[in-house]
A and B are shown apart, each in its own frame.
Chain A
Amino acid sequence: MIPTKPVPTEKRDDKQLTFAERIYLPEILRGLRITLRHFFANIFVWGQRQVVTIAYPEVKRAVSPRWRGRHRLTVREDGTPRCTACFLCSTACPARCIHIVAEEHPDPNIEKRPGRFEIDLLKCVFCGLCVEACPCDAIRMDTGIFALSGFSRQDFYLSLPKLLEGVPAEGPASAGGPAKTRN
Chain B
Amino acid sequence: MFNAVLIDLLKIGLVVAALLQAASILTWVERKQSAAMQDRIGPNRADILGLTVLGLFHPIADGIKMLTKEDFRPRGADPYLFPLAPVLAFAPAVIAFAVIPWGGTLRFGEGAETWFVPLRIADINVGILFIFAVVSISVYGVVLAGWASANKWSLLGGLRAASQMLSYEVSMGLSAMGIFMVFQSLRLSEIAAGQGELMFGFIPKWGIFVQPLGFILFMTASIAEAKRVPFDIPEGESEIVAGYFTEYSGMKFGMFFLGEFVEVVLASALITTLFLGSYQIPFVVADQARNLYGLQLPGAELWPWNANLVAILQALAFVFKVCVMIFLLQTIRWTLPRFRYDQVMNLGWKMMFPLALANLLITAFLILALS
With the chains together, A50 CA to B216 CA distance in Å?
33
Given contacts A31-B335, A31-B336, contact A53 B36 (CB under 8 A): no
Contact in complex: A35, B216 (CB < 8 Å): no
A–B complex contacts, Cβ < 8 Å, 12 sampled: A28-B332, A28-B335, A31-B336, A36-B37, A38-B36, A38-B37, A42-B36, A50-B39, A51-B39, A51-B41, A53-B41, A183-B41
Closest to A40 in B: B36
Give me the 9 closest cross-chain CB pairs, A-B, nearest first: A53-B41, A42-B36, A31-B335, A35-B37, A35-B335, A39-B37, A39-B36, A53-B40, A43-B36
Which one of A28, A46, A182 contacts B336 once the chains associate, using CB atoms below 8 Å?
A28
Contact in complex: B39, A38 (CB < 8 Å): yes
Interfacial residues of chain A within 17-75, with CB under 8 A of chain B in the complex: 25, 28, 31-32, 34-36, 38-39, 42-43, 46-47, 50-53
Per-residue CB contact flags for chain B residues 18-54 toward chain A (1 = under 8 Å, else 0) read 0000000000000001011111110010000000101
The reply on B334 being an interface residue by CB < 8 A is yes
Q: Which residues of A contact B44 (CB under 8 A)?
A: 182-183
Closest to B55 in A: A183
Q: How far is the CB of A25 from chain B (nearest CB, A)?
A: 7
Q: Which residues of B contact A31 (CB under 8 A)?
A: 335-336
Q: Which residues of B contact A46 (CB under 8 A)?
A: 36, 41
Report the interface size class on chain B: 10 to 19
The reply on B331 being an interface residue by CB < 8 A is yes
Contact in complex: A39, B331 (CB < 8 Å): yes
With the chains together, A26 CA to B365 CA distance in Å?
28
A-B contact count (CB 8 A): 47
Q: How far is the CB of B155 from chain A (nearest CB, A)?
A: 30
The reply on A181 being an interface residue by CB < 8 A is yes
Closest to B44 in A: A182
With the chains together, A25 CA to B219 CA distance in Å?
12
With the chains together, A182 CA to B36 CA distance in Å?
14
Q: Which residues of B contact A183 (CB under 8 A)?
A: 41, 44, 54
Closest to B45 in A: A182
With the chains together, A32 CA to B24 CA distance in Å?
25
Q: Which residues of A contact B38 (CB under 8 A)?
A: 38
Q: Which residues of B contact A51 (CB under 8 A)?
A: 39-41
Contact in complex: A35, B334 (CB < 8 Å): yes
With the chains together, A52 CA to B42 CA distance in Å?
11
Q: Which residues of B contact A42 (CB under 8 A)?
A: 35-37, 39
With the chains together, A36 CA to B54 CA distance in Å?
20
Q: Which residues of B contact A32 (CB under 8 A)?
A: 331-332, 335
With the chains together, A35 CA to B216 CA distance in Å?
20
With the chains together, A32 CA to B331 CA distance in Å?
7
Interfacial residues of chain B within 319-371, with CB under 8 A of chain A in the complex: 331-332, 334-336
Q: How far is the CB of B232 from chain A (nearest CB, A)?
A: 16
A-B contacts besides A42-B39, A181-B41, 8 pairs, CB < 8 Å:
A25-B216, A28-B332, A32-B332, A36-B331, A39-B36, A182-B44, A182-B52, A183-B54
